[in-house]
Amino acid sequence: MKFAVLLAKYFYTKKHLALPGIGVLHLDAAVTVPDFSDKNFREVLKYIQFTQKNIAKADDELIDFIRTQTGKIRPLAESDLESYLADGKLLLNIGKPFTIEGIGSLQKMKSGDLIFTPGEPTIEKLDFHTEDKTPDKSVRHIPGYDESQSRHTVHNNQRRVLLVGTLVVIGLIVILWGGYSLYNKADNQPAQVSSEVNTPITNPDSTTIRQPDSNITEQPAVAATPPGTYKFIFEKTDRKARALRRFAFVHDLSPRIQMETSDSLNFTIFVRLSAMSTDTGRLKDSLNAWYYGTKPVKVMIEP
């Protein structure tokens, strides 16, 4: 179910929908909302009213509704709503209509005021009155408004870019992991012991020189320093929504990536890797290229 349709389902059930940063949609409590397939449903649309308000926070009831309908945890439900509204406000700011399927569309005027135009509900799963009712396929419901063609084009382009980016990231992970594995394999090979060892000899003038010691042909190899575990920090942020979105994306690509917070206000996305101290710089550059692309190095290292 599309997120906009989910909002329409909530609106026609509660007759009230507060959108943070945009305003409030409301329907008179005396209005009876029929089934969406009812021919009289269009009559309900003219009773929808919009009030432009500076809403700071979404209603808890709306977040709980999204959570129960999608099966997601509360922070992800909040993040989905924030992302949807951010896209809508972006469309409004560039002069495009922000369409909420099943309810109507908003348009921003030059004065900054938002104008609401009711729209006919789409057929896509607005069956909130009778869950088991099968709609008549012979009846075609045509929406009273169409979304901007440019919005569809941008959306499709974003999908293609995301797919290509995901494939590139997966390829980088495979290459980095293969190189790292080969490096660890090479480090585990036994060190070659020189057949000739130089020992310091002090002459009478207290000048230190080195010369071959003919009595010592071989000494046992000194054990190599074992690799340590380093914490490579991709990002620290106090923006909860961004932290959740970024973590969900990179964690799907590599489950080894973790996120932590000590106060629910500041979030850290990181990964722990075993490495030699001399190779932490190389790994940091590779991880930065994977996470940030061509941007300057932002990845940090903690023991």
Tens of pLDDT, residue by residue over 254-279, are 888 999 998 888 999 999 988 888 88
Domain with CATH 3.30.70.1070 in the chain: 228-302
Q: Give the pLDDT of residue 236.
A: 94
C-alpha–C-alpha distance, residues 94 and 171, integer Å: 36
C-alpha–C-alpha distance, residues 183 and 188, integer Å: 9
Q: Give the pLDDT of residue 146.
A: 43
Q: Where are the alpha helices (DSSP H) in the chain?
A: 3-14, 41-45, 60-70, 74-93, 149-187, 240-253, 280-292
Tens of pLDDT, residue by residue over 204-222, are 443 343 444 444 444 444 4
Q: pTM of the full predicted structure? A: 0.41
What strands lie across the sheet with 104-108, from one edge to the other?
A: 98-100, 104-108, 114-118
Q: Give the pLDDT of residue 223.
A: 45
Residue 114: pLDDT over 50: yes
Tokens of 236: 């620290």
Tens of pLDDT, residue by residue over 58-99, are 899 999 999 999 998 998 989 999 999 999 889 999 989 999
Q: Which residue has the higher pLDDT, 75 or 146?
A: 75
- Mean pLDDT, residues 17-27: 91
Domain with CATH 4.10.520.10 in the chain: 3-145
Query: Is the domain 228-302 a CATH 3.30.70.1070 member?
Result: yes
Q: Which residue has the higher pLDDT, 147 or 61?
A: 61
CATH number of 3-145: 4.10.520.10
